[in-house]
Homo-oligomer: A and B are copies of this chain.
């Protein structure tokens, strides 16, 4: 039996609604997704977050499930909220979805300044444009073809030209009396264009992260960055982290294609947008370099990543790949070469290779470490002698997930916190606070540690609060069994709502920072060196560049180093992609680097447990 579901998609506009039908018994989440209505399900619909919560407007509100009670809490359950992944369609209902945060308001780290003369590379993207005059076939007896004439003019063989280039060859040849521009990559002909188009030669560097995607348009002769666009990864609707997305794939055979289609669709939007802004036609884009973690890489190629999520976390493939753009349905020149940088392991992907390429760790005479902090972060340690890498899965806490009042770094997020005799906050956009994001959490914990509100084990010391300044003291409360720090009270300046830090939130951040710190510690352990031997620690990626270095040092997210040895390196993965885009030598180097990196599996190492436990604690005052 089919049941009707009406979804109000915008709380500010009751007319913004979609009605669909689904078989009775389907969960509201699945019914909505099947009907093309995006309800965000950060945990992949497994009842482990609150992102898919809906409020019942009409119809019988079903009794709350255990997941409803745990995730939403009594108040929201009483107000008629349920998790869409938990409640099933039994009769016609109308629900209101949680409003999606405006994408534009997110902080996404862009591509950075790109390749500069300081990068010291010789530009040679491998794309050659040659203007030739082709003699058209004129004689009936003589056996020839348009293609024979073309390859004779450019010194190639018919097999160097694929049929997709041939489709429009006769018209191109005859439009300008045989004058055409032939674009090649090695011996492969990528395009034959009428007239002289030799000045049109562009490429894309694409960084596909679990959370965000950055596409950069580059002129291939000068290396000039013409534009860059970034967006949230639209696959996140089906799961915020890798494991949720893998679970989504396993749920239904059609879901893999859904994820692939989503990312390809976004890339094509990016291509259209960045090209429009720069006045570059997509057909003039002949080379694309893609970096991303292993799971994103596999999903882009339509490769089932299910086993990447299971021990021993082996990728399906690791080698560098060069494909025609038409194979991926990317809307650039159909024969444009899409170069996917190589992978190292299931959780150390091409993005890590890009970071090594961009940070030049591989050529360093001293030992350096690069840390890409994120849901699925990576740590790379090494020098020109050796390179080690491990994954450091911080989990989604630093993205605001599984934190009571956590949120991503978007409009209204508390991103900076100072603790002195009280707690003072700054919000993104300087609007009323809606929640707290990762950089705010790290500042908050650093400040609370320094003030003695939290001890080295992470306990919120409510019992000892009398020693604190009065304002700070009054923020420490017990609510039921729960220790809390009230960060903002309703009515305080900048407070959109009450925002608290719970004991459980502290534990979540400890787990996250412990993962990263233990990654660094493990690599140092495997390399047999002490942390103070490090010449430099580089913070890479979309998250690392927003956190305060002193706060990160204070909570022990990174090992104790003088602050001047810690440096932001921007979106290093994307810069690595740009290097490989602009230089075939750099692209070859990426392959060599991937072959050199020694993968260290944290969980499989006998010393890991002790290192992880040690890393969970905070450094003492």
Contact = CB atoms under 8 A, between A and B. Distances in A.
Given A166-B317, A314-B146, A317-B158, A141 B304 contact: no
Q: How large is the interface on A (under 10, 10 to 19, 20 to 34, 35 or more residues)?
A: 35 or more
A314 B145 contact: yes
Contacts of A144: 314, 318
A468 interface: no
B163 A327 contact: yes
A314 to B, nearest CB: 4
Interface string A34-61: 0000000000000000000000000000
Contact of A601 (B140, B171, B314, B603): B140
Interface string A319-352: 1010100010000000000000001110000000
Interface in A149-205: 158-159, 161, 163-164, 166-171, 174
A66 B159 CA distance: 50
A145 B594 CA distance: 13
Contact of A140 (B140, B301, B603): B603
A595 to B, nearest CB: 9
A136 B302 CA distance: 21
Interface stretch (A210-218, A224-232, A305-313): A305-313
B599 A145 contact: no
B167 A302 contact: yes
Nearest to A148: B318
Chain A contact residues, majority secondary structure: loop
A600 interface: yes
A487 B598 CA distance: 89
Contacts of A605: 141
B147 A316 contact: yes
A599 to B, nearest CB: 5
A303 interface: yes
A137 B312 contact: yes
B148 A304 contact: no
Interface in A582-597: 597
A315 interface: yes
A371 to B, nearest CB: 21
A312 B169 contact: no
Contacts of A138: 312
A489 to B, nearest CB: 48
Given A146-B315, A317-B146, A163 B301 contact: yes
B166 A604 contact: no
Given A158-B319, A163-B302, A303-B169, A345 B174 contact: no
Given A137-B314, A313-B140, A599-B141, A170 B304 contact: yes
B145 A315 contact: yes
Interface in A555-611: 597-601, 603-605
B141 A604 contact: yes
Contacts of A314: 136-137, 144-146
A423 B141 CA distance: 45
Copies in the complex: 2
A143 interface: yes
Contact of A169 (B143, B169, B316, B319): B316
Contacts of A317: 145-148, 158, 161, 163, 166
A13 interface: no
A321 B164 CA distance: 12
Nearest to A602: B140
Contacts of A164: 302, 327
A481 interface: no
B145 A601 contact: no
Contacts of A301: 163, 166-167
A492 interface: no
A139 interface: yes
A141 B319 contact: no
A169 B144 CA distance: 43
Contact of A316 (B159, B170, B319, B344): B170
Contact of A163 (B171, B321, B597, B599): B321
A617 to B, nearest CB: 26
A327 B174 CA distance: 26
A141 B316 contact: no
Contacts of A136: 314
Given A167-B301, A171-B306, A303-B169, A312 B145 contact: no
A306 B168 CA distance: 10
Contacts of A169: 303-304, 316
A142 B604 CA distance: 11
A318 B343 CA distance: 40
A481 to B, nearest CB: 39
Q: Which of A140, A318, A319, A327 has the most CB of B within 10 A?
A: A140
B318 A147 contact: yes
A307 B145 CA distance: 10
A434 to B, nearest CB: 40
Contact of A604 (B140, B167, B327, B599): B140
Interface of A: 136-148, 158-159, 161, 163-164, 166-171, 174, 256, 301-304, 306-307, 311-319, 321, 323, 327, 343-345, 597-601, 603-605
Nearest 5 CB-CB pairings of A with B:
A140-B601, A137-B314, A140-B604, A158-B319, A147-B317
6 contacts: A140-B603, A143-B597, A143-B599, A145-B317, A159-B319, A171-B304
